[in-house]
Structure 1
Amino acid sequence: MSGSISQNIAGALFKARKVVLVLFVALTALLGYQASKIQLNTDISKMVPLDHPYIQNYFEHKNDLSLGNDIRLIVAETQGEDIFNDDYMMALKEVTDQVFALEGVDPSKISSLWTSNVRWNEVTEQGFQGGEVIPAGYDGSEQSLEQLRTNVLRSGQVGRLVADNFQSSVVHAHLLDALGDDGVDIPALSASLEEIRSTFQDKYPNVRIHIVGLAKKAGDVMSAAQEVAMFFFLTLGLIALLLLLDTRCIRSALTVSICSFVAVIWQLGIVSTLGFTIDPYSMLVPFLVFAIAVSHGVQIVNTLANYVASGLSSLDASKSTLQALVVPGMVALVSDAIGFLTLYMIDIGVIRELAMAASIGVAVIIITNLIVVPVVLSYVGVSGAAVRKIQAGEEKDHPLAGLFARFTRPGMAAASIIIAVVGYAGGIYLSQDLKIGDLDKGAPELWPDPCEEMDCPRGYEPKDRYRYNHDVNFLVSNYSVSADVLVVMGKTPQEACNTYQAMQAADDMAWTLQNVEGVQDVATIASATKMIATNMNEGSMKWATISRDQYALNNVMSFMPDSLYNLDCSLTPIYVFLDDHKAETLDRVTKAVAEFSETRNNQDVIEFKLASGNAGVEAATNQTIEASQYPMLALVYAVVSILVLIAFRSIRAVICIIVPLGLTSILCQALMAQMGIGVKVATLPVIALGVGIGVDYGIYIYSKLSEYLKQGMDLESAYKETLKTTGKAVAFTGITLAVGVIFWVFSSIKFQADMGILLTFMFLWNMIGALWLLPALGRFLLKPASAAK
């Protein structure tokens, strides 16, 4: 049945091969124009699971909260003993003025020693006194600077806006709604911040500026991601060169390389036409499309060269090649496309767009490579050198072919299966330590700073690839407040956030969280109330409590920072400052909040809801990935298994193809666990995409093997013949693609380097599994009769 279908497809296409090529060129020109218009995604909302309860809770109160979309510019004094000198203060003033002028910054939410919202207060015998931290009439004199020092000490900003060692201070700015319709232009903002850094470090030799924040991190990743194009073209050239060396035919090597590159152009053109964008995470997709296209192209060239070596003309050999490969090729590509589409079940915008882009890219390979490559080769043919190489290979067995063929023998096959079982068991055991989310401090997408902050000399200037994490280290080492903040929302009836019951519940929540490992500090309306009440009573610590007198609490509210309650006093945020945003830290804190809320939530008094802040986003993302990881993988394998079953109509075929694939996935997870690579937005797609590429190897080998078995050959002889054609192409593809991606370890983006390591491993192990384990399984499952079913 499949033979007649393939004959009809091949016959129809070769009758209209000129029309096929004209349409191919026309579509390439059209989609190439569309591809030129594709844009880099700068929308942070696509990196957030918008339907997660945490994010939905944030949207409910978005006018009263921040989602962690703030930036901190730390202006450090590198020469003087501390910041209390006029040169430094002038530099800080100018930096603050520049931050006010930044596009995307909310000017009403900027804090610095130079802003009027940063004040000092004290209680004296005459009553309350206070004012702005910068003294009225500041003129840079010794007297003004001494007054400034006194005001800073009285302001309560040491450890927050001013470093514990008084050698730096912060300009803290909130951005406009990063998830709104008019989101912040992240690359433009990041570039403006870098301009501020370079301008003032050049103007003031005694100043170094460190910049941290979610938007700055995203901007640095997007900036460094431009390198991906360089790595793509490097890989393209390297694969084309290796293809030429393998085939010894410049015509076929150029045909496969050009058609594979055209597949990338088509993919980008269709994605652009549909209104999608490209982002640092989906930049992996063009390479994968190229890799899969080359994989199928190599199979076509090797099969066609074998037909020519047997005496067929270029036209007849091309037609026979398409007829032989159209069914297994389409099964493999459809499996890839549907498998990639299963990533869509993960409710994160960048992953869903990656799923669509990868599925589209694989679908176009059916035309650009599976159909067009044989048609082009029917005109250009293959070189005599390629044919002579095939003929020479038929006269003598390659030593590796003889080695792999031995795995079909009963003893070697049984040993191989035992090794595979041990590999499964060992992989499962080692992958128990696999974590969800980030496992390092700072931004794991970028390289860690090799200079530990406490060992860094003052004024140390890191390389660009380390700069962001160096800046994070500087903040953590010199300030009491972390850049990782989880915000718990305390929702109350209107005008009830300052009742005794609500404040006491918030205070109890704070006490619970302060005793959770990984929590630095907790700021609540209750803690501020205690401090204000103490100040109102001559600093007596006996008053550091929450009064049961509502009139006293109302009086306290006149001094309460507006960041601790909203306008109608129906929401009070609880700010939880964390040591880091590691997955374990976030898990401990969110579980502590959830457990406390189960016992203390009372909507008539206060209801605690998670979560806002940058750590809240990270926690929501981790939970989304954790919930989707194994269902997604199960769906990938289910889809691939069903398509293989439909194509070969044999459970034995499914086992032979899927078992080696599963071993690679398990071992990849074990590798991630041992290397400290967490499952997150950047790495989860790699696991699924690796399955898609690996299944191609198994399908092609099984298809050719079953063909020889149907002819009545014994398993070892059939596999030897398979290795001369399809097996050789699989080995070449796996090694070539692995060599191509291993260069990613030199990327300025750490997550791209991680993906390079994982992909190299998966390309090689998928190849080894298909060549080694598939025939071993076949020894106990396959017979000529069963293969013919």
Structure 2
Amino acid sequence: MSSLNPQLEQTFLKPATIGEPIIERILFNHRPVWLTLFTLLTLFFGYQANQIRPEASYEKMIPTFHPYIANYLAHKDDLKGLGSAVRISVETTEGDIFTKEFQDTLKQVHDEVFYISGVDRTALKSIWASAVRWNEVTEEGLAGGPVIAETYDGSPAELKKLRANIFKSGQVGALVANNFKSAVVYAPLMGKDPETGEPIDYQAFSNKLETLVRDKYQNKTIKIHITGFAKVVGDLIDGANQVAVFFAVALIITLVMLYFYARCLRSAVVPLLCSVTAVIWQLGLLKTLGYGIDPYSMLIPFLVFAIGISHGVQIINAIAHENATGSNKELAARRAFRSLYIPGIIALVSDGVGFATLMVIEIPVIQDLAIAASMGVAVIILTNLFLLSILMSYAGISKASVNKQLHAEEHGKHQFWQLLSTFTQRRQAWALLIIALLMAAFGLHQSQGLKIGDLDAGAPELRPDSRYNMDNSFITDNYTTSTDIFVVMVQSAKEKCSDYRTLDAIDQLQWRMQQLPGVQSGRSLVNHTKQMMTGYNEGNIKWLALNRNQPLLDQASVTALPGSYNADCSLTPVFIYLNDHKAETLKTVVAEVEAFIDDFKGVEGLTFKLAAGNAGIEAATNVVIEKAQYQMLIWVYAVVGILCLLTFRSIRTVTCILLPLALTSLLCQALMAQLGIGVKVATLPVIALGVGIGVDYGIYIYSKLETYLSAGMSLKNAYFNTLKTTGKAVAFTGLTLGIGVGTWVLSPIKFQADMGILLTFMFVWNMIGALVFLPAIASLLYKRNPQSAQANDTLKPKVAVTKITTTKNTQKDEHCHAV
């Protein structure tokens, strides 16, 4: 059955060409040309994809249009060190930091970090930085100097002086641990690498920290702890190798299951090859157009692969069905393409436009993800509809696979499909609808616990026992000034930052913030001024307050550390150090600051602005995400619904396709709430992407169902025959992809494990929704045709019998062609 003689070619090909769409003629009449073009494009995009590297940008993670971020960017030059930064804690396991050996190591770490390209050297801080100073009032007047004196030589006397200087500098809890067993090197980063002019390569920077600092200086008596956005991203990118391993495992699982599904090695390898080609094209396109791939969008290539497999299986299934009816391999590929290219393109366009709606979220990293996903879907049209059909017209399907298809058609009882087809009956449909409503109610109730932002301390993208999170926990436990900093900017008239009324207002704000749970401490120009007031009065603690003598306040402000106020004394930052950056902590802090601003009726011309610092930026991001999550879903469902409506011209059809997807989205939100996965930049797109994958199932099933209904079958019979063809492919795809991505739960990267759980859930539940709930909804929405139902009480479709005489063996076979 792999080939037909000339007489049979006329029998089959002539009727087939009568209604050939022009796109089919262009594609199949010039197959060698297209294969050559596809090969050249694959080589080009493969070369480009080989050049792409994981990259990340701190600025791309933040919503620059938000008022908080706009305030920060407007004063960015006055707030050095509050953008992306790393904090390196050097810990001694023997004694304390007041030993010559420890101080020598700390100095070496400070110098090593100073020379790493990308570090803002003007803002680098440690007790070895000359800008970190101590101040006191003596009988002779004001005295002060660097914490590490010029006379320092490591002697006991100098170490004793160092201890005194640290106390007088106010750096205990900031650059020096509360227990004096560790000290910090704080390294703000520049936006671009000054040597290359390119954005900082966080992976290379993270690797330098490991090799030049941790590996070089950590030993039995010294431990190194490193935190910061650059380190998180570096660890995530390093984990990309493990992501690739799990991707390879998913490929192998898919290949094995494709083989057992089709019982044909060619039918397993070709769709897999086309799906991998789609991924290569996507990555190559991104590189060609100047885009990179972000650690938070590494799941996109797998989603492209998954969508490609979904469409590829439909093509293979249709070709096998056509082969079983007697078509040769080219004709089978033509007929399969003709029957599926319209629903396939519609489904993929729905996917692409749905993904593109993520552009409404004005966070660059999500917009880049939307572009990457849309590009991936666009290339699937070429690789998994066009290229796959052409390749299969040459490769064909093995006789064993065709015989399996014939045997299933003629002798299969299809008990499972018969069971599912009963869901088209009103009684069963109402039962399913009640179950769906109960599940929706449960999902709605559970999703109320869904939180915005991070729900864990440290870096939730990594495992709690990861080295980064252990380092973050160490710094949080041993320092008063944590790694999570929320900054309120207080703007005044020029030369008025040290005005009593300005300082008094800041003092009130700082006191209120320190009463909140989750706030470790607060620091500002007020702390330094109070310390100086005490020094002016022989260290008497009762003078640890703001003095109304303005000249004294002005004099005290002059000796404050750089960063306590800006150059013209018109901006004073208030640093609020938090226990963590959990969503609830940030929400509480923002609410309290805004309440203070509303209550404040103080100095004319004094303005409190939110917000800077990593916690302030994340608070703004959470606000945007909270607003955007429902806006995004509305756009996704609206766009997909409109496209389905334009295609099928039926509100009932759109309802049948979208309602199961909506149930899956709701249950996914409930699952996220139960698993403690917050909605944030990394997780927000997953729900939208899940809708895009699920709509493919619904469109394919409904398109085939409509074909059988148009032939006059009852809904039950039409759906039964749909299940035997398209439904079987949908079930296989959902289970295969679910198993493949389910292996991600073993990943050491928590972000990938969480995404594995969510994607597995969405793959499987979208499949269940399309196979079970879609026909039940159709049964309740569509009017019954009693005559049609009586005329088609059998589960077999109408067939037309064509006798085919082979000239070689003069054998006569009867092949049944489904209407």
TM-score class, shorter-chain normalisation, is over 0.9
Match of 1:227 among 231, 242, 248: 242
Aligned to 2:211: 195
Match of 2:462 among 442, 446, 463: 446
Match of 1:318 among 333, 336, 353: 333
| Separation in structure 1 between the aligned mates of residue 175 and residue 58 of structure 2, nearest angstrom | 26
The answer on whether the counterparts of 2:82 and 2:188 sit within 8 Å (CA) in structure 1 is no
What secondary structure sits across from 2:506 in the alignment?
helix
The answer on whether the counterparts of 1:10 and 1:319 sit within 8 Å (CA) in structure 2 is yes
Aligned to 1:569: 569
The answer on whether the counterparts of 1:494 and 1:568 sit within 8 Å (CA) in structure 2 is yes
Aligned to 1:560: 560
What are the within-5 Å matches in structure 2 for residues 159-558 of structure 1?
A: 159-177=173-191, 183-201=199-217, 204-394=219-409, 395-449=411-465, 466-558=466-558
What's the % identity of the aligned pairs?
52
Bigger mean CA deviation after superposition, 117-126 or 398-407: 117-126
Report whether the alignment pairs 1:711 with 2:746: no
What secondary structure sits across from 1:240 in the alignment?
helix
The answer on whether the counterparts of 1:484 and 1:615 sit within 8 Å (CA) in structure 2 is yes
| 1:771 CA drift (Å) | 0.7
| Separation in structure 2 between the aligned mates of residue 51 and residue 509 of structure 1, nearest angstrom | 26
Report whether the alignment pairs 1:688 with 2:688: yes
| Separation in structure 2 between the aligned mates of residue 144 and residue 557 of structure 1, nearest angstrom | 28
Deviations 1:432-486, CA, capped at 9 Å, x for gaps: 010111000001111112xxxxxxxxxxxxxxxx110000000011111111001
The answer on whether the counterparts of 2:118 and 2:193 sit within 8 Å (CA) in structure 1 is no
Uncovered stretches (5+) of structure 1, i.e. residues with no partner: 450-465
Report whether the alignment pairs 1:721 with 2:737: no
Residues 28 and 436 (structure 1), Cα distance of their counterparts in 2 relative to 1, 3 Å cut: same
What secondary structure sits across from 1:331 in the alignment?
helix
The answer on whether the counterparts of 1:710 and 1:785 sit within 8 Å (CA) in structure 2 is no
| Separation in structure 1 between the aligned mates of residue 223 and residue 245 of structure 2, nearest angstrom | 32
Q: What amino acid does structure 2 have at the position aligned with 1:236? A: L
The answer on whether the counterparts of 2:105 and 2:217 sit within 8 Å (CA) in structure 1 is no
Report whether the alignment pairs 1:141 with 2:155: yes
The answer on whether the counterparts of 1:111 and 1:172 sit within 8 Å (CA) in structure 2 is yes
Residues 783 and 308 (structure 1), Cα distance of their counterparts in 2 relative to 1, 3 Å cut: farther
The answer on whether the counterparts of 1:404 and 1:772 sit within 8 Å (CA) in structure 2 is yes
State TM-score, norm by structure 1: 0.94
Bigger mean CA deviation after superposition, 761-770 or 527-536: 527-536
| 1:780 CA drift (Å) | 1.3
Bigger mean CA deviation after superposition, 570-579 or 599-608: 599-608
Q: What amino acid does structure 2 have at the position aligned with 1:749? A: I
| Separation in structure 1 between the aligned mates of residue 192 and residue 570 of structure 2, nearest angstrom | 24
Residues 743 and 702 (structure 1), Cα distance of their counterparts in 2 relative to 1, 3 Å cut: same
| 1:5 CA drift (Å) | 8.4
| Separation in structure 1 between the aligned mates of residue 784 and residue 335 of structure 2, nearest angstrom | 23
Deviations 1:533-585, CA, capped at 9 Å, x for gaps: 12112123443333333222222222222221011001100111111100111
Aligned to 1:32: 46
Residues 785 and 609 (structure 1), Cα distance of their counterparts in 2 relative to 1, 3 Å cut: farther
Residues 592 and 178 (structure 1), Cα distance of their counterparts in 2 relative to 1, 3 Å cut: farther
The answer on whether the counterparts of 2:131 and 2:561 sit within 8 Å (CA) in structure 1 is no
The answer on whether the counterparts of 1:58 and 1:67 sit within 8 Å (CA) in structure 2 is no
Residues 6 and 749 (structure 1), Cα distance of their counterparts in 2 relative to 1, 3 Å cut: farther
Give 1 or 2 for the bigger CA radius of gyration: 2
Q: What amino acid does structure 2 have at the position aligned with 1:363? A: A
What secondary structure sits across from 2:78 in the alignment?
coil
Residues 247 and 603 (structure 1), Cα distance of their counterparts in 2 relative to 1, 3 Å cut: farther
Bigger mean CA deviation after superposition, 777-786 or 732-741: 777-786
State TM-score, norm by structure 2: 0.90
| 1:174 CA drift (Å) | 2.1
The answer on whether the counterparts of 1:486 and 1:575 sit within 8 Å (CA) in structure 2 is yes
Uncovered stretches (5+) of structure 2, i.e. residues with no partner: 1-16, 790-819
The answer on whether the counterparts of 2:433 and 2:773 sit within 8 Å (CA) in structure 1 is yes
Bigger mean CA deviation after superposition, 528-537 or 425-434: 528-537
The answer on whether the counterparts of 2:112 and 2:213 sit within 8 Å (CA) in structure 1 is no
| Separation in structure 2 between the aligned mates of residue 564 and residue 147 of structure 1, nearest angstrom | 25
What secondary structure sits across from 1:63 in the alignment?
helix
Aligned to 2:814: none
Aligned to 1:71: 86
| Separation in structure 1 between the aligned mates of residue 231 and residue 327 of structure 2, nearest angstrom | 61
| Separation in structure 1 between the aligned mates of residue 527 and residue 205 of structure 2, nearest angstrom | 35
| Separation in structure 1 between the aligned mates of residue 20 and residue 328 of structure 2, nearest angstrom | 19
Root-mean-square deviation (Å): 2.2
How many residue pairs get aligned? The number is 768
What secondary structure sits across from 2:225 in the alignment?
strand
Report whether the alignment pairs 1:102 with 2:116: yes
| Separation in structure 1 between the aligned mates of residue 555 and residue 155 of structure 2, nearest angstrom | 38
The answer on whether the counterparts of 1:45 and 1:179 sit within 8 Å (CA) in structure 2 is no
Q: What amino acid does structure 2 have at the position aligned with 1:251? A: R
What secondary structure sits across from 1:226 in the alignment?
helix
What are the within-5 Å matches in structure 2 for residues 694-773 of structure 1?
A: 694-773=694-773
Bigger mean CA deviation after superposition, 774-783 or 592-601: 592-601
| 1:30 CA drift (Å) | 2.4
| 1:493 CA drift (Å) | 1.5
| 1:177 CA drift (Å) | 3.7
What secondary structure sits across from 1:564 in the alignment?
coil
| 1:178 CA drift (Å) | 6.2
| 1:172 CA drift (Å) | 1.7
What secondary structure sits across from 1:567 in the alignment?
coil
Q: What amino acid does structure 2 have at the position aligned with 1:37? A: Q
What are the within-5 Å matches in structure 2 for residues 611-622 of structure 1?
A: 611-622=611-622
What secondary structure sits across from 2:122 in the alignment?
strand
| Separation in structure 2 between the aligned mates of residue 557 and residue 50 of structure 1, nearest angstrom | 32
What secondary structure sits across from 1:608 in the alignment?
strand
What secondary structure sits across from 2:462 in the alignment?
coil
| Separation in structure 2 between the aligned mates of residue 197 and residue 161 of structure 1, nearest angstrom | 18
| 1:667 CA drift (Å) | 0.2
